[in-house]
Amino acid sequence: MSTVTPSRAPHSDVPAGPRTDEKRVGGGLFDSKLLVTSLPDAFRKLDPRVMVKSPVMFVVLVGSVLTTVFSFKDPGDWFGWTISAWLWLTVVFANLAEAVAEGRGKAQADTLRRAKADTMARRLDGATEEPVPGTALRVGDLVVCEAGDTVPGDGDVVEGVASVDESAITGESAPVIRESGGDRSAVTGGTKVLSDRIVVKITTKPGETFIDRMINLVEGAARQKTPNEIALNILLASLTIVFLLAVATLPPFADYAGTHLSMVVLVALLVCLIPTTIGALLSAIGIAGMDRLVQRNVLAMSGRAVEAAGDVSTLLLDKTGTITLGNRRAAEFVPVGGASEAELADAAQLSSLADETPEGRSVVVLAKERYGLRERHRGELANAEWITFTAQTRMSGVDVEGRKVRKGAAGSVVAWVKERGGTVAEDAATRADRISEAGGTPLLVAVEDTEGARVLGVVHLKDVVKDGMRERFDELRRMGIRTVMITGDNPLTAKAIAEEAGVDDFLAEATPEDKMALIRTEQAGGKLVAMTGDGTNDAPALAQADVGVAMNTGTSAAKEAGNMVDLDSDPTKLIEIVEIGKQLLITRGALTTFSIANDVAKYFAIIPALFAAVHPGLDKLNIMQLSSPDSAILSAVVFNALVIIALVPLALRGVRYRPVSADRLLRRNLGVYGLGGLIAPFIGIKIIDLIVSLVPGL
Annotated binding site for ATP: 355, 359, 389-396, 407
* CA geometry: angle 57, 59, 63, nearest 5 deg: 115
Count other Cβ atoms within 10 Å, centred on residue 332.
15
Identify the DSSP state of 332. Answer: E
Identify the DSSP state of 641. Answer: H
328, burial (CB in 10 Å: exposed 0-12, middle 13-18, buried 19+): buried
CA 224 vs CA 220, 290, 307, 461, 480: distances in Å: 8, 11, 11, 48, 28
Identify the DSSP state of 385. Answer: E
CB–CB of 388/354 below 8 Å? Answer: yes
CB–CB of 545/316 below 8 Å? Answer: yes
Nearest to 504 by CA among 527, 533, 524: 527
Catalytic residue among 165, 183, 212, 318: 318
Binding-site residue numbers for Mg(2+) are: 534, 538
Strands 547-551 and 564-566: parallel
Alpha helix (H) residue ranges in 274-392: 276-295, 303-310, 341-351, 358-371
Nearest to 327 by CA among 217, 426, 410, 441: 441
Torsion angle of the four alpha carbons 428, 429, 434, 439, in this order, in degrees rounded to the nearest 10: 110
The amino acid sitting at 697 is G
40, burial (CB in 10 Å: exposed 0-12, middle 13-18, buried 19+): exposed
* DSSP class per residue in 131-147: EEEGGG--TT-EEEEET
The amino acid sitting at 222 is A
CB–CB of 267/60 below 8 Å? Answer: no
- The conformational region for residue 452 under phi > 0 = left, psi -120 to 50 = alpha, else beta, is left
Residue 447 to residue 347: CA distance in whole angstroms: 8
CA 501 vs CA 323, 481, 484: distances in Å: 7, 15, 11
- Which phi and psi (to 5°) does residue 166 adopt? -110, 20
Residue 180 to residue 194: CA distance in whole angstroms: 16
Please count the helices (runs of H) and the strands (runs of E) in the chain: 25, 21
Residue 392 to residue 196: CA distance in whole angstroms: 31
CA 210 vs CA 338, 554, 564: distances in Å: 59, 13, 12
CB–CB of 9/322 below 8 Å? Answer: no
Residue 652 to residue 649: CA distance in whole angstroms: 5
Residue 283 to residue 288: CA distance in whole angstroms: 9
User: Catalytic annotation on 318?
Assistant: yes
Buried-state track 211-234, b at ≥16 Cβ within 10 A, e below 16: bbbbbbbbbbebbebbebbeebbe
Active site residues: 318
